[in-house]
A and B are shown apart, each in its own frame.
Chain A
Amino acid sequence: MQTRLRIAVAAGGAVGSVGRVWLDTAAGDAAALPWTTLAVNVTGAFALAALAGRLRGPVARAALLTGAIGAWTTVSTLAVEVVDLTLLRGPLGAAYLALTLAAGILAAWLGDRTAPHSTGPSDGRGGHGVGA
């Protein structure tokens, strides 16, 4: 079972990462703010909260929640972009970080509201209980 979960996480991670990098490449970097990263993080937070209570099978949860949605969103790129923005535009970096966090929390709340009931990530663990 653990092997199937690992394969599912890896497959989902591949899809999520390619989707994120493809979107970032297609959008380009002409905007004042890194809207692409903001968009993937906010949509991912919404999707994770919305789907966590709906998906039942551990393999599906591993592939979609931990793998695809987990890799669709990113903290490392967000952090590097905040550093770049801070160096180039001063307070805009902190504003971008605060906007991302606020929008992400709001999206997670909205996603949770659409879910039939709140389970999964509400255990407060990073792996969404897929290994359980």
Chain B
Amino acid sequence: MSPLEVAVVAGAGACGALVRHELTSDRPLLALHVVNVGGSLLLGVALGLDRGGVVLAVAAAGLFGGLTSFSSWVVGARAVVREARRPATAQLVHLALPAVLAVLAAGLGVAVGRALGGVAVGVGA
């Protein structure tokens, strides 16, 4: 990584982590699910656009990677499942469903990004 890429990722990661903190701190785990699914959608759009070169790609990885958090999700979900009256339902709601939604959101994001990129190319041509 070049010094510019390190600086861009550091700034983007700081912003992503700060936004996650503001949106999820002292809120139920559901808030983190929304942030994770939303971040997956936005990273999909950014990568689907396929513009701006390496710096934009690492900035997106820094920003949306810092925004979303696998560790907070898994550790939080594990605690909720452990204390749930219906563990199977809690596993479905807090582990399986967020995973599927994040992947669907990323796929939708890539498709939207590619469509937007295609439109932009068409306009500029």
Query: A interface vs B, CB < 8 Å?
Result: 5-6, 9-18, 20-22, 24-25, 41, 44-45, 47-49, 52, 62, 66-67, 69-80, 82-83, 86, 93, 97, 100-101, 104-105, 107-109, 111-112, 121-132
Contact = CB atoms under 8 A, between A and B. Distances in A.
A14 B10 contact: yes
Contacts of B11: 14
Given A66-B20, A130-B21, A10 B79 contact: no
Interface residues on B, range: 35 or more
Contacts, number: 229
A132 B21 CA distance: 12
Chain B interface, >50% SS class: helix
Contacts of B115: none
A77 B74 contact: no
A86 B100 CA distance: 13
